[in-house]
């Protein structure tokens, strides 16, 4: 059995964009064992993929806040030991950053990555044994698939398959929609008043509305939205595997530019993506479900436009 190591640590959207490459590698290299190095917050999601045999968590986002603390040093040493604990036949760094390339270099095995013209941080390419020129004009999902194919000896074919089983993950038989109102950047938010108005439109169809949150500010906004609609619910903050199950069970999802929107598309859940800032076509949500992408063209997508998009994609 060959041992394969993937290095894709963050962010959430990037991690999800790597999943089709893993699914394809699993099919083409069925005899292989797959390990994935990923940020600790995203590890629960990665473990949902049936091809993953082993997850190694790193915590760079947390470590960099106290890099000289003894506890941080101890965690870094433990992660390095876990990465070096076995020899890999192939190591694929599809992140293409210096920090991910260093992780690949720490590991034992032949290292594959993008060449210096194909990645955001060209210096990272010096850490690889095998370097590949892959157009930056391709969607992120396809770039990951092509790099993985080069490294593992196959040609990507067909539509991307994220490897996540929507039916198997869904845990509720009630009818509800998920509203992803939170995003890491305030300039990507859709106005709160619009969410309230949209909730009132959607709620007329008898759907419950679920409002996930990740920060205290997002929770407060979710509670204000929910206070204006009797069928809206704000739960507790949960790990990503639980969030994935909630999204999997939704009738549809409406969301702004956030990693969870890509999770909805990966699960094949009908999706309306509201892009306040026009996003490159190279990173828009792609998947097997019905997807409507509404981009700001001089003005924000209106409540009416979003509601009409929901009508088009909703089952």
What distances in angstroms separate CA 280 from CA 16, 35, 136, 168, 283, one per listed residue? 17, 30, 11, 32, 6
Segment 296-314 mean pLDDT: 94
User: What tens digit of pLDDT does each residue of 252-261 get?
Assistant: 999 999 999 9
Model pLDDT, residue 106: 97
Do residues 229 and 203 lie in contact, with contact meaning Cβ atoms separated by under 8 Å?
A: yes
- pTM score, two decimals? 0.95
Cα-trace Rg, the chain: 20
Segment 221-243 mean pLDDT: 95
Mean pLDDT, the chain, integer: 95
Q: What CATH code is assigned to 166-313?
A: 3.40.50.2000
Alpha-helical regions (H) of the chain: 12-28, 43-46, 60-63, 70-83, 98-106, 140-152, 166-169, 192-203, 216-227, 240-248, 259-267, 303-313
Helix (H) or strand (E) holding 54: strand 52-58
- Are 3-152 and 166-313 the same fold in CATH? yes
Coil vs helix vs strand at 273: strand
Strand partners, 156: none
Residues with Cβ < 8 Å from 205, sequence gap 6 or more?
none
Q: Which tokens belong to 297?
A: 């063209």
Between helices 259-267 and 12-28, what is the axis angle to 10°? 30
User: What tens digit of pLDDT does each residue of 138-159 get?
Assistant: 999 999 999 999 999 999 999 9
**pLDDT exceeds 90 at position 171:** no
Model confidence at 173, pLDDT cuts 50, 70, 90, reads: confident
Segment 65-70 mean pLDDT: 92
Query: What CATH fold (topology level) applies to the domain 3-152?
Result: Rossmann fold (3.40.50)
Model pLDDT, residue 280: 67
Domain map of the chain by residue range?
3-152, 166-313
Segment 199-219 mean pLDDT: 93
User: What tens digit of pLDDT does each residue of 277-294 get?
Assistant: 766 678 899 999 999 999
Tell me which DSSP letter residue 97 carries.
S
């Amino acid at each position: 059995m060959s041992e394969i190591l993937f290095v894709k640590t963050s962010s959430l959207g990037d991690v999800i964009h790597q999943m089709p490459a893993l699914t394809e590698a699993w099919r083409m290299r069925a005899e292989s064992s797959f390990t994935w190095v990923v940020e600790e917050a995203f590890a629960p999601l990665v473990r949902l993929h049936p091809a993953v045999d082993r997850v190694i968590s790193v915590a760079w986002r947390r470590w960099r806040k106290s890099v000289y603390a003894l506890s941080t040093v101890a965690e870094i040493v433990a992660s390095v030991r876990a990465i070096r604990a076995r020899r890999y036949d192939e190591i694929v760094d599809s992140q293409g950053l210096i920090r991910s390339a260093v992780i690949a270099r720490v590991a034992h095995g032949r290292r594959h990555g993008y060449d210096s013209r194909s990645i955001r941080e060209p210096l990272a390419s010096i850490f690889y044994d095998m370097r590949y020129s892959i157009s930056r004009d391709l969607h992120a999902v396809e770039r990951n698939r092509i790099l993985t194919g080069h490294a593992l000896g196959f040609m990507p074919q067909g539509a991307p398959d994220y490897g996540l089983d929507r039916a198997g993950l869904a845990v509720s038989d009630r009818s509800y929609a998920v509203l992803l109102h939170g995003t890491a950047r305030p300039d990507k938010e859709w106005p709160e008043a619009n969410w309230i108005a949209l909730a009132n439109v959607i709620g007329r169809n008898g759907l419950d509305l679920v409002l996930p949150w990740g920060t205290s500010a997002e929770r407060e906004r979710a509670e204000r939205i929910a206070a204006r609609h009797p069928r809206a619910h704000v739960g507790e903050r949960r790990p990503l595997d639980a969030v994935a199950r909630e999204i999997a069970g939704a009738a549809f999802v409406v969301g702004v530019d956030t990693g969870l929107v890509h999770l909805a598309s990966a699960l094949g859940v009908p999706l309306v993506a509201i892009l306040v800032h026009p996003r490159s076509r190279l990173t828009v949500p792609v998947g097997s479900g019905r997807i409507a992408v509404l981009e700001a063209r001089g003005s924000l997508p209106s409540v009416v436009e979003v509601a009409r998009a929901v009508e088009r994609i909703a089952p």
